Structure 1
Amino acid sequence: MSNTLAPLLEAARLLEQTWAGAGSGSDLSRAQLIAVNDAIGQLKRTADAVHSEVAASVAFESRRELGPQSLAKQQGFRTAAQLIAMTTGASTGDAVRLVKVGQATAPRTNLIGEALPAKFPDVREALRAGRIGAPAADLILTFLDRMIPKVGRECVAEAEVFLVHQAPGLSLDEVRKMITRLEAHLDPDGVEPREGDLRGQASLRMFQRAGMLHINAVLDPERGAPVQAAIHGFVSAEFAAKRDGRDRNAPDADRHDLTAIQADALVHLAEHALSCESVESLNGATVVVRVDLQDLESDTGSGLIDGIEQPVSIATVRRMAADGGVIPWVCGSDGEVLDWGRCRRLFSPAQKLALRERDGGCAFCGLPPSMTKAHHIRWWSRDAGPTDLSNGVLLCETCQHLIHDVGWEIRIEGDSVFGKVWFLPPPHVDPLRTPRLGGRARIEVLT
């Protein structure tokens, strides 16, 4: 059996085993649904690995210098990507990605024909084993290539090992977030120049059509953070009002569509700016800028705006911390909170913000902090649970009910804001009760 095909065939056998006894997908038990879904994921990832190798070979046989002898042209296509897209039913962009991943992970030869390992061997091995798929591999490979001239091959090799170890089990969006944080960690001097590029791309377009005002905005992290926080706060308050039976907007009381409520939020913000209305309807929305004391004192490194993926420079941290409505979060080397700004609100005065720092939002599903609440892990009334970081967790309303209704357990590792949140599934979900890492630690680059 080919070493290339072995993982793919094994994944196919696993799918066959988990499907055993069921005629169709609707006949699967709940346990089978989870097992089959996992098996399909494994099969898809290993198929990506095989297909990327084939795609790279198709591209080689279709290279431009072959002219009429190009494989793609002989089959009636201008490029290899078009040939692959037609046979898979995917987009040309997806086909280009397969070719790129196959080329980047293929073994190489030197000028005298001697065999060399792949440029990124750890990515190749993880892809072939089905631990990551082609989309995640593409993100990682693009990042590693970009970082070589900035930090050197030795540092990039360490980053490759880290990413390949962390990426399995993450969604593509989570892999993208992790890479964004890692880039700021490896190349802190590049954060501020990248900010300039992002500010240059910021835009807002408005036009009227069919009686409607259309708005399309693209904002850089510094200016996007307060907009996002305010809109999320409005949405959170709106859902809370609907849940409690309060009618904040009688004409639209039956509207539950998120995009519609976000539109209401934007209108509310404009009305507030024009009339200076109360901001209570923003549900305490706050912009938090986080930075390490050492970075702040040395004027190096980078900071993070709560709810924004893109790290910001120290210069931006200082500028935002000087503005009203922004809370500076400064942390010392041992994780102790040194400065929480002027904020005074409970889960105890600074603990809610400390939980936001540790969990990054809903510790289970990742919703932003403005859409979560602080909850006691051991209940205050039933279990006499203390109100401290080791007994607190940020959860959105949906995940709170899911965890309590289904029987998940939550365990906190460590007492500081650098602690980790672990979720233990009940036996009927996972007989082994394998802990799942949650919170910011799931994708954060920890030093």
Structure 2
Amino acid sequence: MSEHLTPLHEAIDALDAAWAGAGSAQGLSRSQLIAANDAVGVLRRRLDALHAEIAAGIAHESRPELGAGSLAKEQGFRSTAGLIAATGGGTTGDAARLVKVGEATAPRANLLGEALPAKYPAVQAALARGDVSAPAAAAIITLLDRVGIKIGAARVGEAEALLVERAPGLSMDDVRKLVTRAEAWLDPDGVAPREETRGARALTMFERDGMLHITAKLDIAAGAPVKTAIQEYVSAAFRSRAHAVAPDAPDADRRSVPMIQADALSEICAHALGCHNDDLPLAGATVIVRVDLNDLESGSGYATIDGMDSPVSITSCRRLAASGGVIPWVLGGDGEILDWGRERRLFTRAQRRALAARDGGCAMCGIDPQLTRAHHIRWWHRDAGPTDLDNAVLLCESCHHRIHDNGWDIRIDGEGAAGRVWLIPPPHVDAQQRPRLGGWARYDIAA
């Protein structure tokens, strides 16, 4: 067996051990299912690394200067991506990204034939260990290539190490969020030019079949209050539904989320026209903008908006700050009490804002703050837990039940809104109970 394939065989052995002779997945216990899923994940990522390496080799043997002698053309394909996509069953776009990963992580040589390290050695090592997938590596490499000329080699190396450290354990959706935040951190001056597409914003309306059809495309700053208001309306509708006396009654609210969102837009606009509907359930809706005070004062840097993946420029941040319903993330400055001890059970609006600033939404799954509630970590009745920020966490209903039902623990490092949330899995999930960073800090590349 080639030593180069040893990591792959180790992953296969781990999968074989997890399977433990079962005839099918239906015969596996819960612990075996988790072990098998983990083993498959490692195996897939190590296969990704091997496939990227092979793709780079095929690309080298299919370079344009070879003409008709190109490996891809010999096999009947116009390009390397076409050959790889056909044999792997994927898209040519996926194949092209695989080639890009392979070339960026392959050993190199200078003009004298002397060996050089890979362009991105940290990504190469993470791929080989099975820590990151090829799509995650492609997202990181694409970012580093894009900002490399602006920030220089030293900063690229720093960013590469940080991204490789943060990416393991994240879904591809979360890796994209991480990369988006990282780009603003690495190139804050580039946020404003990227916002120039604001001129492409549009909203179209037309009537057909007795219905009004609305299609909208908004920049992040303009879209934030729209998204926040509609989500708060949906959240209020679900809270009302949960407290209904007879949810199975003929007149019970059975609207789907898209239907409630449509109703939200209609009622919000109706309120704006007459501005007399005091029953509109939007009292708690707030757009939270995170920005460094020095950046805000100097006019440089960037800001982020909770519930939105893309950063905004300082100019957009200042425009938002001039609007109602927008607050800075440093809270309690108006003398609002953020720690109540045992004097009261329910968290105040000021405390919820502070928690939204710290957690950015559900500390476990990341859903937006409007869809969460503040919960005591040490329970109010059972543990005599205080109603303080250091004993509070934002959780959606699903994650709240999941944490309590499955034995997860939560730890807060730091004080108040500057703290960080750590999720401690139970032994049956992770025998070593290694803490997992939760909340907004997961995507904060500078944290």
Match of 2:240 in 1: 241
- Aligned equivalents of 1:247 and 1:294: distance in 2? 53
Show the counterpart of 1:352.
352
Letter of the 2:182 counterpart:
L
- With over 3 angstroms needed to count, the CA separation of the structure-2 counterparts of 1:386 and 1:153, relative to structure 1, is same
Larger mean CA deviation between 401-410 and 285-294 belongs to 285-294
Q: Which residue of 1 aligns with 2:310?
A: 310
How far residue 349 of structure 1 moved from its aligned partner, in angstroms, is 4.8
Deviation at 1:445, TM superposition (A): 2.3
Alignment-derived partner of residue 194 in structure 1: 194
| Preserved contact between residue 328 and residue 339 of structure 1 (Cα < 8 Å) | no
Q: Does 2:132 match 1:124?
A: no
Go from structure 1 to structure 2 and tell me whether the alpha carbon gap of 1:435 and 1:242 turns closer, same or farther (over 3 Å shift): same
Residues 22-41 of structure 1 mapped to structure 2, 5 A cutoff: 22-41=22-41
CA separation of 1:133/1:270 partners in 2, compared to 1, >3 Å: closer, same or farther?
same
| Distance in 2 of aligned mates of 1:153 and 1:195 | 26
Alignment of 1:173-188 (within 5 A): 173-188=173-188
Mapping 1:383-394, distance limit 5 Å? 383-394=383-394
User: Matched residues in 1 for 2:141 and 2:174: separation?
Assistant: 16
d(CA) in 1 for partners of 2:138 and 2:205? 35
* CA-CA distance at 1:210 after TM superposition: 5.1
Q: Secondary structure at 1:215's aligned position in 2?
A: strand
SS at match of 1:280: coil
The answer to whether the 8 Å contact 1:255/1:261 transfers is no
**Cα gap change, 1:69/1:210 in structure 2, threshold over 3 Å: closer, same or farther?**
farther
CA contact (8 A) 1:42 1:130 kept: yes
Contact 1:340 1:350 (8 Å CA) reproduced: no
| 5+ long unaligned stretches in structure 1 | none
* Residue in structure 1 matched with residue 327 of structure 2 by the alignment: 327
Distance 2:255 2:122 in 1: 46
Asked if 1 retains the 8 angstrom alpha-carbon contact of 2:285 and 2:325, the reply is: no
Q: What secondary structure sits across from 1:94 in the alignment?
A: helix
**Counterpart position of 1:218:** 217
> Mapping of 1:17-416 within 5 angstroms?
17-197=17-197, 199-208=198-207, 211-245=210-244, 253=252, 255=254, 257-276=256-275, 277-278=277-278, 280-282=280-282, 284-329=284-329, 331=330, 337-338=332-333, 347-416=347-416
The question of whether the paired residues in 2 share the 8 Å contact of 1:4 and 1:128 is answered with no
- The residue type paired with residue 258 of structure 2 is T
Deviation at 1:340, TM superposition (A): 9.6
- TM-score of the superposed pair, with normalisation by structure 2: 0.91
Preserved CA contact (<8 Å) 1:321 1:327? yes
Q: State the Cα deviation string for residues 121-147 of structure 1 (Å, max 9, x = none).
A: 100110111100000000100111111
Taking a change above 3 Å as real, the CA distance of residues 245 and 159 of structure 1, as seen in their structure-2 partners, is same
Instruction: Report how far residue 327 of structure 1 moved.
Output: 2.1
Q: CA deviation at 1:89?
A: 1.2
Alpha-carbon separation, structure 1, partners of 2:207 and 2:121: 53
Which has the higher mean CA deviation after the structures are superposed, 239-248 or 117-126? 239-248
Distance 1:382 1:118, change over 3 A: same
Distance 1:319 1:445 in 2: 25
Q: Identity rate of aligned residues, in percent?
A: 59
CA RMSD of aligned residues (A): 2.4
Return the offset for 1:337: 4.9
Are 1:45 and 1:133, in contact at CA under 8 Å, matched by a contact in 2? yes
SS of equivalent to 1:423: strand
Change (3 A) 1:313 1:340: farther
CA distance in 2, matches of 1:123, 1:226: 38
* SS in structure 1 of the partner of residue 4 of structure 2: coil
Letter in 2 for 1:228: K
Q: Which moved more, 1:27-36 or 1:231-240?
A: 231-240
Q: Deviations 1:301-325 (Å, cap 9, x if unpaired)?
A: 2222221122222222221111122
- Separation in structure 2 between the aligned mates of residue 440 and residue 371 of structure 1, nearest angstrom: 15
Distance across 2 between alignment mates of 1:36 and 1:392: 35
Call closer, same or farther: CA 1:81–1:253 in 2, change over 3 Å.
farther
Letter in 2 for 1:245: A
Equivalent pair of 2:185/2:446 in contact (CA under 8 Å): no
Question: Bigger shift: 393-402 or 239-248?
Answer: 239-248
Instruction: Give 1:293 shift.
Output: 2.3
Count of paired positions: 437
Measure the CA separation in 1 of the matches of 2:74 and 2:116: 32
Q: CA deviation at 1:433?
A: 2.2
Aligned to 2:343: none
The one-letter amino acid paired with 1:26 is: Q
Cα deviation code 1:168-226 (max 9, x no counterpart): 001112111112222222222222222223x1332334445555444332221110100
Q: CA offset at residue 32 of structure 1?
A: 0.6
Mapped contact 2:288–2:357 kept (Cα < 8 A): no
Q: Which amino acid aligns with 1:440?
A: W
Mean Cα displacement is larger for which, 271-280 or 19-28? Answer: 271-280
